[in-house]
């Protein structure tokens, strides 16, 4: 493998986050007041779809299916 390919290769990594910080993030996401409709007329910004993805990820059923 060349030096450039090795430097840009995708390698597995592990992220360790204390459970207390994850619990605080979940609490804050649950307390978020999400917009009920698109706030920006420009659909190119995709604000609503990002918001919807975050809301979906926060749902308890989504958390139960995440890998450990």
Give 35 or 4, the one with higher predicted confidence. 4
pTM: 0.45
Supply angle C-alpha 15, 56, 41, rounded to 5.
115
**pLDDT single digits (tens) 39-58:** 666 666 555 566 677 777 77
Domain boundaries, the chain: 36-68
- For residues 35 and 53, give the distance between their C-alpha atoms in angstroms, rounded to a whole number: 13
- For residues 68 and 63, give the distance between their C-alpha atoms in angstroms, rounded to a whole number: 10
User: Residue 31 carries which DSSP code?
Assistant: T
- For residues 53 and 16, give the distance between their C-alpha atoms in angstroms, rounded to a whole number: 23
CB 47 within 8 A of CB 40: yes
């Amino acid at each position: 493998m060349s030096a450039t390919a090795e430097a840009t290769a995708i390698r597995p990594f592990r992220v360790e986050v204390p459970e207390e910080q994850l619990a605080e993030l979940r609490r804050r996401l649950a307390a978020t007041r999400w917009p009920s409709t698109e706030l920006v007329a420009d659909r190119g910004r995709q604000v609503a779809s990002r918001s919807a993805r975050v809301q979906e990820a926060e749902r308890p059923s989504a958390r139960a299916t995440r890998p450990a």
